[in-house]
């Protein structure tokens, strides 16, 4: 991976846990991607309205507005934006559940760097 792989791309990280946000930033830094981070669903909706976002990594359980509610609001004005659900509460069938309610893909925590990069490559390459 080069340091400019996704230098023209912007990812919105929606995560209320600072440690998780920092981890994601560290994993993504070598790709050159621009990162915008917010800590709740309401801020995610505003960030998507006010910025050119290529992909969203959205925690499911968020304060103020849930990840699912934010997804619904964002898709109203940006139907084609890729939004990937992320959750620490992974159970069998979760991927199918989250895709059925409108997320484009899903990744469970703990997030492994290679898995994250492989997943994002499907949408950003």
Q: Look at domain 10-124 and name its CATH class.
A: alpha beta
Phi/psi class of residue 78: alpha, beta or left (left: φ > 0; alpha: ψ in -120 to 50)?
Answer: beta
Cite the DSSP H helix spans in 14-66: 18-28, 41-50
Which of 66, 82, 89 has the alpha carbon at shortest distance from 12? Answer: 82
- pLDDT of 5 > 50? The answer is yes
User: What are 35-76's pLDDT values in tens digits?
Assistant: 999 999 999 999 999 999 999 999 988 989 999 999 999 999
What number of other Cβ atoms are within 10 A of residue 104's Cβ?
A: 18
What average pLDDT does the segment 75-102 reach? 86
Cβ within 8 Å of residue 58, ≥6 positions away? 14, 41, 44, 67, 70, 71, 83, 84, 85, 86, 103
């Amino acid at each position: 991976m080069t340091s400019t792989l996704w230098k023209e791309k912007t990812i919105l990280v929606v995560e209320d846990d600072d440690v998780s946000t920092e981890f994601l930033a560290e994993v993504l830094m070598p790709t050159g991607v621009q990162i915008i981070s917010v800590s709740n669903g309401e801020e995610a909706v505003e960030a998507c309205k006010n910025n050119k976002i290529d992909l969203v990594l959205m925690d499911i359980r968020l304060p103020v507005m849930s990840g699912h509610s934010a997804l619904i609001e964002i898709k109203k004005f940006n139907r084609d934006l890729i939004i990937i659900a992320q959750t620490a509460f992974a159970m069998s069938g979760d991927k199918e559940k989250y895709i059925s309610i409108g997320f484009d893909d899903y990744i469970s925590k703990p997030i492994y760097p290679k898995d994250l990069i492989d997943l994002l490559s499907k949408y950003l390459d």
